[in-house]
Chain A
Amino acid sequence: MAELAARDADEAVRAPEVRLAGIGKRFPGVVANHDVDMVITPGTVHALVGENGAGKSTLMKILYGVQKPDDGTIVVDGKERSFRSPTDAIAAGIGMVFQHFMLADNLTALENAVLGAERLHGIGDRARSEFTAISQRFGFDLDPDVMVEALGVADRQRLEILKVLYRGARLIILDEPTAVLVPQEVDALFENLRDLRKHGHSVLFISHKLDEVLAIADDITVMRRGTSVGSAVPGEVTKRQLAEMMVGSELPTPETSESTVTDVVQLALRSVTLTDDAGRDLLADISLEIHRGEILGIAGVEGNGQAELVETVMGMRTPTSGRILLGDRDVTGWDTRRLREAGVGYIPEDRHRHGLLLDSPLWENRILGHQTRRPSTRGPWIDRAGARHDTERIVADYDVRTPGIDTVARALSGGNQQKLIIGREMSGDPVLLIASHPTRGVDVGAQAAIWGHIERARSAGLAVLLVSADLDELIGLSDRIEVILRGRLVAGFDPSAVTLQELGTAMTGGDS
Chain B
Amino acid sequence: MTFVRRAGFGLLAPVIAVVIAMLATSIVIVASGSDSGVGDFWRIILAKPPNRILVNIVNQTTMIYLAAVAAAVGFRMNLFNIGVEGQYLLASYVAATFAGAGLLPGPVNVVGGLVIAVVVGAAWAGIAGVLRVTRGVSEVIGTIMLNSIAGILVGYLLDRYGIHGGNQVRTHTLSQGSQVPGWTPFTAADGAVWALDLLAVAVGIGFWVLLNRTRFGFDLRATGMSQSAAVASGINVKRMVLVAMLLSGGVAGLIWMPAFYGSAYTYGTTFQAGLGFTGIAVALLGRNQPVGMIFGAVLFAFLTAQSNSLTLQTDISASVVLITQGVAVLAVVVAYELVRRYRTRLEQRAVAQVSPDPTREGVAA
Contacts and interface: CB of A to CB of B under 8 A. Distances in A.
Contacts of A403: 347, 350-351, 353-354
A356 interface: yes
A225 B232 contact: no
B319 interface: no
Contact of B344 (A336, A348, A408): A408
Nearest to B352: A29
Interface in B320-355: 340, 344-345, 347-348, 350-351, 353-355
B228 A380 contact: no
Interface stretch (B20-28, B198-206, B356-364): B356-364
A28 B232 contact: no
Contacts of B361: 443, 445
B355 to A, nearest CB: 4
Given A357-B222, A357-B225, A382-B212, A31 B231 contact: no
Interface string B32-57: 00000000000000000000000000
Interface string A355-399: 111111000100111011000010011101000000000000000
A493 to B, nearest CB: 29
B351 A348 contact: no
A380 B216 CA distance: 7
Given A29-B351, A407-B351, A369 B358 contact: no
Interface residues of B, number: 39
Nearest to A368: B233
A412 interface: yes
B320 to A, nearest CB: 36
B359 A337 contact: no
Given A340-B234, A380-B216, A225 B362 contact: yes
A401 B216 contact: no
A413 interface: yes
Contact of A401 (B225, B233, B358): B358
A226 B340 CA distance: 28
Most buried by A among B226, B229, B357: B229
Interface in A96-112: none
Contacts of A408: 344, 347
B232 to A, nearest CB: 4
B350 A411 contact: yes
A411 B348 contact: yes
B226 A357 contact: yes
Interface string B208-227: 00001111111101100110
Interface in B159-217: 212-217
B214 A381 contact: yes
Contacts of A443: 358-359, 361-363
B312 interface: no
A364 B345 CA distance: 20
B313 interface: no
A408 to B, nearest CB: 6
B358 A353 contact: no
B103 to A, nearest CB: 34
A372 B215 contact: yes
B31 interface: no
Nearest to A384: B213
A346 B359 CA distance: 24
Contact of B222 (A316, A339, A368, A411): A368
Nearest to A408: B347
B1 interface: yes
B104 interface: no
A336 B347 contact: no
A228 to B, nearest CB: 13
Contacts of A353: 226, 228-229
A29 B232 CA distance: 25
A415 B231 contact: no
A156 interface: no
Interface in A8-51: 28-31, 34
B272 interface: no
Interface string B116-139: 000000000000000000000000
A413 to B, nearest CB: 5
B219 A336 contact: no
Contacts of B216: 380
A445 B358 contact: yes
14 contacts: A28-B345, A28-B348, A30-B359, A31-B363, A337-B235, A368-B229, A371-B219, A371-B233, A382-B212, A384-B213, A401-B351, A401-B355, A410-B344, A446-B358
Interface of B: 1, 212-219, 221-222, 225-226, 228-229, 231-236, 340, 344-345, 347-348, 350-351, 353-355, 357-363, 365
Given A314-B232, A406-B1, 6 more contacts: A31-B363, A227-B363, A353-B226, A354-B228, A371-B233, A443-B359
